[in-house]
Amino acid sequence: AFAAASAHVVPGAPDASWLLLATTPERAGGRADGTDGYHHPGGAVFVDPAHDPDVAVLRAWITAGQPGPGISVGAQPRDLALSSDGRTLYVANTGSLDVAVVDVSTLRERGRIAARAPVSDVVEIDGWLVLTALGVGSGHPKAHDAARESLDPGEPGADLTILRDPTTGRPLPLDQQRPAGPFADVDGTAQEKFRDVSNDVVVLDPAATTAVDRYAATAGFTRYTSDTFEATAGDARGDVAPELLAVVGALPEQAARDGDRIYVTMAGTFQVQEWVVDVAAAAPARRLTAGRVFGTGLGPGGIARAGRTLVVADHLGDSVSFVDLDDGGTDTVTLATSSPPYPATDFERGELIGRSALWSSDQDATCVHCHYRDSSDGKAWSVGSVTAQSHDRLERTGGSREVPDLRDLFAETPLLVEGVLALAEPLGPITDQAPLEDFAAPTPAGDFTGIFALPEEAVALARSAHATWQVSGRPWDATSPTAADLVKRRDTMFAQTSRRWLGAPYGLREVQRLVGLWQGGEGRLLPDPEDATDPMVARGRALFESPAVGCAGCHPAPTFTDKVHPPNENRAFPPLVTLGRRDAIHNVPSPSRIDANAGYVRAWDPDDRGRVQQRADQFVAPSLRGLWARPPRLLHDGRA
């Protein structure tokens, strides 16, 4: 796709453009065959770039490229910083997942620093940069695995499909499954699925660094991540050096400097974290030292220093928080005094849950980590709908999906590319942030190991969809704690959190209802900046609507997705793009169908028995509304 290609191009500088670096092998100076940084999921695209005519064409195109009005800096630019000598401008890009480096004298971009995650802010200190960003992982396996990726049905370590009965949604027997095949991608981190969601702060030398795309402390950069990244019972341990597990809270947003200190707002946990900076530290891991943590109002975003006070703009709370750096106290002043305090409605309660990490077991994951800015974090994620299983029915990752928008969902049901979810079914993503197995041990959210289900509670608790591994249907097989014990522990955590922040002890199912109401009511689309009368726009519209081209056939106005004509309950049909090996390994059931199979009835939604993806190789047409505002990551698997 042109939009995806151009976002990773530095006009006039092919050797600095990640479009070529990410697709060229390491022996030729690229990164394509790596596993822990900017690399192409399929390996090297251009095996012999010096003699490849396609590379020559691309290099000529990039060399001749001219930035359009303004300065070319990448996709979805956010905040920026000017170097102390005034010669260089650094721009944080949330869509192309990097930092643009701009020569102020020529107003031309001269390179990028790859971060492999949305970068929200950049601050200069002593010639180095401090970045606030999300984590580098994307839920995929850490590295390739010959056994798991084997196509040999007799290989005991091979990942298998999870194909299901199209009526009940229950997994078919193992002898009716097949090998899932090669991974769609690897990401260099041991955590998989939503356990890879994390929060990072990076310090780097811009003169010596072009990529900060892994957790490491090197001569040129140090990247820190969440202190709870390896903290729960289900997490992989020992993958990240302990001294790099230092970020407190979730969703690092903006940063403000005060001498040798940096203060970062954590929008998902309503905090500000202090960092002490020493770029000359003898040990690279000691360049940043985590300091104090201050409370704020709800959803802190912008931050500025005024003397010995931090002034924080609280996006959700419609308030301003004043943090006293001497005594550590916080005063929060509400601006919207004529309105009831947020959250005042069920929509707002659902929004607070979706934008907060406080309902996650490790306190570092939110819905809007992946659905960044209600859109996408610019990655393809390995999530439940492309999960495989082992021969002993344990879940395995390895596929990819594009992250869909959270905007305008009321016009796009059934949701997901598989066409299975109603608006009231966000159960899977919610439980992925608080996996059942985490409650077998103490969690960062609290120690609930002393809670056990009473005999009269056990039958009902174990019957719910969230008492099973949602993908394989394998029940919790430990005798103590039982599945009912774990469900009760998680419900207790949700109730305690809800009582504090929402004023009532909502359990998991009430949280599901509230998030569903938020999803259904969040219809805001950003105004399109394109001029509809521009000749190129008019020509593009004519092509889009032409029967000879066929775009509008699958993406008809006004929703630009066809949820009417396909003759099945999923509103799905065969895709026009070639399927990847792991695209059709799993026909997905909705949580409501799993509930129905287990005999669980939701009091607030008793009639919906859910849906099952009828064909694993058929998908719905994704909506194209608001497409201009998304990061350059397209198609059902995010490959374009």
What are 332-389's pLDDT values in tens digits? 999 977 888 999 999 999 999 999 999 999 999 999 999 999 999 999 999 877 889 9
Query: 9 burial class (0-12, 13-18, 19+ CB within 10 angstroms)?
Result: buried
* Count of helices and strands (H, E) across the chain: 12, 21
Q: Is the pLDDT of residue 205 over 90?
A: yes
The pLDDT score that the predictor gives to residue 263 is 99
Q: What is the pLDDT of residues 585-620, one digit of tens each?
A: 988 888 888 888 888 888 888 888 889 999 999 999
Pair 366, 433: CB distance under 8 Å: yes
Average pLDDT of the segment spanning 391-415 = 88
Instruction: Say which DSSP state 562 is in.
Output: -
Q: What is the pLDDT of residues 444-499, one digit of tens each?
A: 999 999 999 998 888 877 676 666 554 555 556 667 888 889 989 999 999 999 99
Q: Is the pLDDT of residue 551 over 70?
A: yes
The pLDDT score that the predictor gives to residue 552 is 94
> Which domains are delineated in the chain?
1-66 (no CATH), 75-140+188-297+299-334 (2.130.10.10), 345-640 (no CATH)
The DSSP element (H or E) to which 460 belongs, if any, is: helix 455-462
> 571-598 burial by CB neighbour count: b if 16+ within 10 A, else e?
bbbebeeeebbbbbbbbbbbbbbbbbbb
pTM for this entry: 0.91
Say how far apart CA 117 and CA 137 lie, in whole Å: 8
Residues 33, 34, 40, 43, Cα dihedral to 10°: 20
Phi/psi of residue 171, nearest 5 degrees:
-60, 140
How many residues appear in the chain? 640
Dihedral sign for Cα atoms in the order 332, 336, 341, 342: negative
What average pLDDT does the chain have?
91
| Tokens 């298998």, located at residue | 160
